[in-house]
């Protein structure tokens, strides 16, 4: 029923006012018929009269004629079946997410409702929420450890992007992971993200770098990569996550303490017009991405496309059939003459 109400419309509903005199005519007809009454003292006279009068003539012919009239009024009101489609234009903001997958991301120095959580899981959850709040933006994803790797192209298909994000995992000794090379190649990640954005014609190009350590590998330094990004008009937000006390299992990493290079991250952000953040807990990380979301406002336009399917021919056809049926029936069953 709700589906019918959502889609059915009258394009010219003013014609429906004609239903009022049509209903009045019907009521007058019914009233006139109810006033007539004749008392027959002789039952045989009534029986012989009943054989001459075809009482079903008006019982079927008139309703068919009235139905033809009503359906004609509906036809003039132009009934339509309406489908509405939302067409969204992209915002003009292209975003590359550079996501750290180094081994230190397994440190569980985050908490949510008393439960210990790894940095990786918390970061994925917050970034996933960030993606869901920006449906009009084209967003891509690069994961990096000792080298960068494309996880998702820049796309408006955010379900694909979120699936790619949630499939990221760490690489440990003896396991097949996303990136085999260990380390933290921040410069290479920025350079790779910049290459993806360079060919784009978006009015605003942004890199959001999420990392929990200092750059210790790669062929280009973070500041060199940031300088190149600046020449391309790319703004970089840097997000450092975790606490200085966090430790990774020494059996899988020679230097178990998490390193931070906040001064470098600050320089990367400031030289490109972005901001630097340090999130030490779950709530501060959520606030960080909420702040970035507010700073980078979208101006996408939503176009509503209305597709009206005319039901007029069907109603007219029904009206003609009803009128034809009434005419044929009455002609074959004429009312009795006096």
pLDDT score, position 205:
92
pTM: 0.61
pLDDT score, position 210:
94
pLDDT score, position 261:
84
Cα-Cα-Cα-Cα dihedral of 46, 51, 52, 56, to 10°?
A: 100
Establish how many alpha carbons lie within 13 A of residue 39's alpha carbon, considering only the half-sphere containing its beta carbon.
1
Q: Are residues 265 and 250 in the same domain?
A: yes
CA angle 338, 58, 71 (to 5 degrees): 140
Q: Are residues 267 and 181 in the same domain?
A: yes
Assign 257 to helix, strand or coil.
strand
Q: Are residues 199 and 219 in the same domain?
A: yes
Q: What tens digit of pLDDT does each residue of 111-126 get? A: 888 888 889 999 999 9
pLDDT score, position 31:
54
Question: Is residue 37, in this structure, part of any structural domain at all?
Answer: no
pLDDT score, position 193:
95
Q: Are residues 155 and 72 in the same domain?
A: no
31 and 24 Cβ atoms separated by less than 8 Å = no
Question: Is residue 326, in this structure, part of any structural domain at all?
Answer: yes
Establish how many alpha carbons lie within 13 A of residue 24's alpha carbon, considering only the half-sphere containing its beta carbon.
5
Q: Are residues 112 and 159 in the same domain?
A: yes
- Residues above pLDDT 70, as percent of the chain: 76
pLDDT score, position 27:
77
Assign 170 to helix, strand or coil.
coil
**Sequential DSSP letters for 30-46:** HHHHHH-----S-HHHH
Q: How confident is the model at residue 88 (pLDDT cuts 50, 70, 90)?
A: low
Question: Is residue 281, in this structure, part of any structural domain at all?
Answer: yes
pLDDT score, position 231:
94
Category of 207 on φ-ψ map: left (φ > 0), alpha (ψ -120 to 50) or beta: beta
Question: Is residue 207, in this structure, part of any structural domain at all?
Answer: yes
pLDDT score, position 300:
56
Q: Are residues 143 and 20 in the same domain?
A: no
The CA-to-CA distance between both ends of the chain, in Å, stands at 51
pLDDT score, position 338:
55
Q: Are residues 128 and 217 in the same domain?
A: yes
pLDDT of 238 higher than 50: yes
- Domain containing residue 63: 2-32+42-84+309-332
pLDDT of 245 higher than 80: no
Based on its alpha-carbon atoms, the radius of gyration of the chain, rounded to whole angstroms, reads: 38
Q: Considering its fold, how many domains does the chain have in total?
A: 2
Question: Is residue 191, in this structure, part of any structural domain at all?
Answer: yes
Q: Are residues 110 and 248 in the same domain?
A: yes
Q: What tens digit of pLDDT does each residue of 98-157 get? A: 999 888 888 888 888 888 888 999 999 999 999 998 888 899 999 998 889 999 999 989
Question: Is residue 288, in this structure, part of any structural domain at all?
Answer: yes
pLDDT of 37 higher than 60: no
Q: Phi first, then psi: give them for residue 216, nearest 5 degrees.
A: -135, 15
Looking at per-residue pLDDT, the higher value among 320 and 30 belongs to 320
Looking at per-residue pLDDT, the higher value among 138 and 63 belongs to 138
pLDDT score, position 23:
82
Record the tokens describing residue 48, joined without a space.
């012989």
Q: What tens digit of pLDDT does each residue of 153-209 get? A: 999 899 999 999 998 887 654 343 455 567 889 999 999 999 999 887 778 899 999
pLDDT of 33 higher than 70: no
Q: What tens digit of pLDDT does each residue of 298-338 get? A: 665 666 677 778 887 888 888 888 888 888 887 777 766 65
Estimate to the nearest angstrom the gap between the alpha carbon of 145 and the chain centroid: 33
pLDDT of 2 higher than 80: no
Q: Are residues 216 and 323 in the same domain?
A: no
207 and 276 Cβ atoms separated by less than 8 Å = no
3-state helix, strand, coil in the chain (%, to 5): 45, 20, 30
Category of 7 on φ-ψ map: left (φ > 0), alpha (ψ -120 to 50) or beta: alpha
Side by side, the strands of the sheet bearing 138-144 are 148-155, 138-144, 93-100, 204-211, 234-241, 276-279
pLDDT score, position 1:
54
CB atoms within 10 A of CB 114: 5
Record the tokens describing residue 23, joined without a space.
């209903």
Q: Are residues 203 and 61 in the same domain?
A: no
130 and 165 Cβ atoms separated by less than 8 Å = no
pLDDT score, position 301:
61
Q: Are residues 58 and 121 in the same domain?
A: no
Question: Is residue 337, in this structure, part of any structural domain at all?
Answer: no
Q: Are residues 7 and 79 in the same domain?
A: yes
237 and 208 Cβ atoms separated by less than 8 Å = yes
**CATH code for position 196:** 3.40.50.410
pLDDT score, position 267:
95
Question: Is residue 338, in this structure, part of any structural domain at all?
Answer: no
């Amino acid at each position: 029923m709700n589906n019918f109400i959502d889609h059915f419309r009258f394009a010219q509903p003013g014609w429906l006012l004609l239903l009022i005199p049509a209903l009045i005519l019907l009521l007058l007809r019914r009233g006139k018929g109810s006033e007539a009454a004749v008392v027959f003292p002789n039952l045989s006279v009534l029986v012989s009269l009943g054989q001459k009068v075809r009482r079903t003539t008006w019982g079927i012919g008139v309703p068919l004629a009235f139905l033809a009239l009503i359906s004609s009024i509906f036809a003039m009101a132009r009934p339509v079946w309406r489908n509405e489609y939302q067409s969204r234009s992209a915002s003009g903001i292209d975003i590359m997410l550079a996501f750290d997958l180094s081994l230190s991301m397994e440190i569980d120095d985050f908490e949510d409702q008393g439960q210990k959580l790894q940095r990786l899981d918390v970061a994925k959850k917050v970034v996933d929420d960030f993606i869901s709040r920006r449906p009009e933006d084209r967003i891509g994803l690069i994961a990096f450890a000792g080298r960068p790797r494309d996880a998702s192209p820049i796309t408006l298909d955010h379900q694909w992007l979120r699936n790619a994000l949630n499939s990221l995992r760490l690489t440990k000794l003896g396991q097949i992971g996303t990136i085999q090379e260990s380390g933290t190649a921040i410069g290479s990640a920025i350079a790779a993200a910049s290459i993806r954005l360079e060919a784009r014609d978006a009015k605003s190009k942004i890199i959001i770098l999420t990392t929990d350590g200092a750059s210790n590998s790669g062929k280009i330094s973070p500041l060199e990569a940031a300088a190149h990004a600046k020449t391309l008009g790319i703004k970089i937000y840097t997000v450092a996550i975790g606490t200085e006390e966090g430790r990774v299992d020494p059996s899988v990493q020679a230097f178990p303490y998490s390193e931070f290079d906040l001064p470098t991250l600050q320089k990367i952000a400031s030289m490109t017009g972005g901001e630097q953040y340090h999130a030490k807990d779950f709530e501060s990380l959520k606030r960080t991405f909420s702040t970035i979301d507010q700073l980078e406002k979208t101006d996408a336009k939503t176009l509503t496309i209305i597709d009206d399917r005319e039901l007029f021919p069907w109603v007219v056809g029904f009206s003609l059939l009803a009128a034809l049926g009434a005419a044929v029936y009455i002609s074959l069953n004429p009312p009795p003459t006096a």
